[in-house]
């Protein structure tokens, strides 16, 4: 039987997000999928989407101000 679980790797161990309902000391065969890394295009897309979502007209000229000022305000 194949089950899919999510875990976090801390450099030495896998920590499961939810416990498994299997007997203790059961030997498992593990296959994993690494998360997709964001490319520069993904970051650009995020900036474009954010400018459209906020309705800010001068986003292209003042994007740093809008990004960093909004982060400070939170």
Greater model confidence, 45 or 59: 45
Give the angle 30-32-33 at the CA atoms, nearest 5°: 170
Region of 42 (left: φ > 0; alpha: ψ -120 to 50; beta: rest) is alpha
Band of pLDDT at residue 63, cut at 50, 70 and 90:
low
User: What is the per-residue pLDDT for 27?
Assistant: 93
Please name the residue that has the structure tokens 């679980």.
5
What does the pLDDT look like over 15-25, one tens digit per residue? Answer: 999 988 899 99
Nearest residue to 49 (alpha-carbon basis) of 71, 36, 41: 41
Mean pLDDT of 39-47: 71
Alpha carbons 73 and 54: distance in angstroms, whole number: 16
């Amino acid at each position: 039987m194949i089950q899919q679980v999510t875990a976090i790797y801390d450099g030495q161990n896998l920590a499961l997000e939810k416990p498994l309902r299997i007997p203790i000391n059961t030997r498992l065969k593990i296959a994993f999928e690494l998360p997709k890394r964001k490319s520069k295009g993904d970051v650009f897309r995020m900036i474009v989407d954010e400018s459209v979502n906020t309705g800010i007209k001068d986003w292209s000229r003042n994007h740093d101000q809008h990004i960093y000022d909004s982060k400070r305000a939170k």
